[in-house]
């Protein structure tokens, strides 16, 4: 079954967060979702999302740049074309547009949504078939204040919503960040899994100092402690400590994953559809990791429900040994979907309808869409 793409429309959607979300490179009070509507022949419509963090503070693609790439280059390339599946779509985009994986991810997601609706199957079936209808999901404690993070963690444990937490560190001085992490671990208890994300903020020497203390303090996982270019350093850290390393920014594609694993890396890879170029492309990295014996983790760019669900459909088809962090919709004060995802008992339920299984609330889309400046 093939699909002919007739038109592509793109919006920037600004939604406030429930609290400031502090990372090493930015503090977020609002998230911008780049939303794509892809209309295909026979009236089939697919929706996609591309979301980054803090404008250009996280990576090379900003919300405005993503929209520009779609409207100026990718939409004219795809509209009027017929594609037999996601492989031919990705091939067409990659042959003419270099990089821009966030933009490509939104379009691949929209295409998969439309194709699933046309075939009356969920996106997970197009990607190999879901192994489970529910996936584990952690919560990130990132207010920037130790006492607030402890109180937030205790409240979520009491509510039964989450039992695993990630801490965002790296913005502060090394020793104060370590004290912050270990204080939260001590307060929440041995039965609660605590991971930390440094977001590339340390050099190798600082990482050795920090990981020595984090390992002794019972932290379970350290995400991307050093810059993405320092693959030799990541390999060294993974072999020096029993505390596992989660490679994130260092592994965007299957080629990155192969190079790191063949160099001797032992740890886990954070999958993200945006950095890979779409759900199907992220699974190529997942399969490379599985062949190399590297564990998997489902990462987020703090997307709204559309991008989160696209990721969940992909993650459901593989064994995510370290679970997922697909909590993005919970960080937003509102969303553009008719029905929210079901988060409870430390898990999230995968929608079962055709395509992504998500219905867009177009009134909310218009309400939050960024108004054009004259």
- In the chain the domains, ranked by start, together with CATH numbers, are 3-121+361-368 (3.30.390.10), 126-349 (3.20.20.120)
Q: Tell me, what's the pLDDT at 24? A: 67
325 noted as active-site residue: yes
Q: Tell me, what's the pLDDT at 187? A: 97
Whole-prediction pTM value?
A: 0.94
Dig out the tokens for 295 from the structure. Answer: 């564990």
Q: Tell me, what's the pLDDT at 118? A: 96
Q: Tell me, what's the pLDDT at 22? A: 75
Dig out the tokens for 325 from the structure. Answer: 């962090």
From the list 61, 152, 303, 325, the catalytic residue is 325
Q: Tell me, what's the pLDDT at 27? A: 79
359 noted as active-site residue: no
From the list 168, 185, 272, 275, the catalytic residue is 168
Angstrom CA distances, 12 to 62, 97, 106, stand at 11, 21, 12
Q: Tell me, what's the pLDDT at 374? A: 45
In the predicted model, residues of the chain with pLDDT beneath 70 are 24-25, 373-374
Q: Tell me, what's the pLDDT at 373? A: 59
């Amino acid at each position: 079954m093939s699909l002919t793409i007739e038109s592509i429309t793109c919006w920037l959607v600004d939604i406030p967060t429930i609290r400031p979300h502090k990372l090493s490179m930015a503090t977020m009070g609002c998230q911008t979702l780049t939303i794509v509507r892809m209309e295909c022949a026979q009236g089939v419509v697919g929706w996609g999302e591309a979301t980054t963090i803090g404008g250009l503070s996280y990576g090379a693609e900003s919300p405005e740049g993503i929209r520009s790439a779609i409207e100026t280059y990718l939409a004219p390339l795809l509209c009027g074309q017929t594609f037999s599946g996601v492989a031919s779509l990705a091939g067409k985009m990659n042959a003419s547009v270099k990089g821009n994986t966030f933009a490509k991810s939104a379009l691949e997601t929209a295409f998969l949504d439309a194709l699933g609706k046309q075939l009356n199957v969920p996106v997970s079936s197009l990607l190999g078939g879901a192994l489970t209808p529910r996936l584990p999901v952690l919560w990130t404690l990132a207010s920037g204040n130790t006492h607030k993070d402890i109180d937030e963690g205790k409240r979520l444990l009491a509510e039964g919503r989450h039992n695993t937490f990630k801490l965002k560190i790296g913005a502060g001085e090394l020793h104060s960040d370590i004290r912050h992490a270990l204080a939260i671990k001590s307060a929440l208890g041995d039965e609660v899994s605590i991971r930390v994300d440094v977001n590339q903020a340390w050099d190798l020497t600082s990482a050795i100092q920090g990981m020595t203390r984090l390992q002794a303090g019972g932290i379970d996982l350290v995400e991307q402690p050093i810059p993405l270019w320092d693959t030799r350093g990541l390999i060294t850290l993974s072999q020096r400590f029993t505390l596992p390393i989660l490679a994130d920014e260092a592994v965007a594609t299957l080629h990155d994953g192969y190079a790191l694993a063949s160099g001797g890396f032992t740890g886990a890879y954070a999958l993200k559809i945006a950095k890979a170029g779409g759900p199907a492309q992220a699974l190529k990295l997942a399969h490379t990791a599985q062949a190399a014996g590297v564990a998997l983790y489902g990462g987020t760019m703090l997307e709204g429900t559309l991008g989160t669900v696209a990721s969940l459909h992909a993650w459901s088809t593989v064994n995510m040994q370290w679970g997922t962090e697909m909590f993005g919709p919970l960080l937003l004060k509102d969303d553009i979907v008719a029905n929210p995802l079901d988060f409870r008992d430390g898990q999230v339920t995968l929608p079962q309808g055709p395509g992504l299984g998500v219905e867009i609330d177009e009134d909310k889309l218009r309400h939050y869409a960024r108004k054009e400046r004259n």
